[in-house]
Amino acid sequence: MRTFKGKTVVITGAASGIGRALALAFVNEESNVVICDWKKDGLEETVRLIELAGKKAKHFVLDVSDRQAVFGLMEGVLKEVGPVDIVINNAGVSLGEELLENVPAEDIEWLMGVNFWGVVNGTQAFLPHLKTRPEASIVNISSIFGITSMGRNAIYSASKFAVRGFTESMRMELTDFPNVTAISVHPGGIDTNIVNYGRHKDENTAKATSDRFKEFARTSPEKAAKVILEGIRKKKGKILIGADARLLNWLAWLFPVRYSAIIRKMEGFWVRKNKG
């Protein structure tokens, strides 16, 4: 996709973080942007920032886990805005770091509803239409935790591995539709509010998770958005964001079984170094 000018882009999870940065990046490319999120205040702030840049964006309050609402979004966008060229299933949530047996079932269902079913819903709603476009992309935001796993993050990792497998399978199904590119995105530590908006057992767990996240979140949302746009432009099937993501991807490829032990040693070294 050599140019984004005049293309219509639908972005979920656009109230903050990578979603907001993507919206601003695309309007600067003169794209028609449709943004969605369940957080109305944050969504309206993204709209305000877009308007400050002298641009406009259509916005919808949306819970991506609500399948009927997502299909309604698709119908509304096609009716009110017109044909869609790029869909970015970016909405995502997190849980506090916790042993698997201590994670409540309702939290598991909530996270999977957004992180996995949100991607499925967005893809199934828009894919038939994207197949009719001369050139289109469906972009699903996974994580480096969709390539490697960490302890106390079993449910989050499960959702992100699921997004990766879902996207890779879809890519194979699109062999007869070379006009559509299916892309999985694997950010490393991105400085967003995903942890602050997550569900935690208590305030101490929330603070510990947030502090730990800040140690590793070294890439800005704006940098992540830039990498994603470049990957879409080059029709990459897999996009890695950040040196940490590239390193962990390499470790998983080189040591598919032993990478977890290596990561634990690296993690311990990092903690000791920062305490020292």
Domain 8-275 belongs to what topology?
A: Rossmann fold (3.40.50)
Quick: pLDDT tens for 17-45. 999 999 999 999 999 999 999 999 999 99
What positions carry a catalytic annotation?
Answer: 156
pLDDT above 90 (res 194): no
Q: How far are the Cα atoms of 15, 16, 19, 33, 61 from residue 41, in angstroms, in the given order?
A: 8, 10, 14, 18, 10
Q: How far are the Cα atoms of 104, 125, 157, 194, 212 from residue 109, in angstroms, in the given order?
A: 9, 21, 14, 17, 25
Quick: pLDDT tens for 103-131. 999 999 999 999 999 999 999 999 999 99
Quick: pLDDT tens for 197-237. 666 566 666 555 655 556 666 799 999 999 999 999 999 99
pLDDT at 56: 94
All structural domains of the chain with their residue ranges:
8-275
Instruction: Judge if pTM exceeds 0.85.
Output: yes
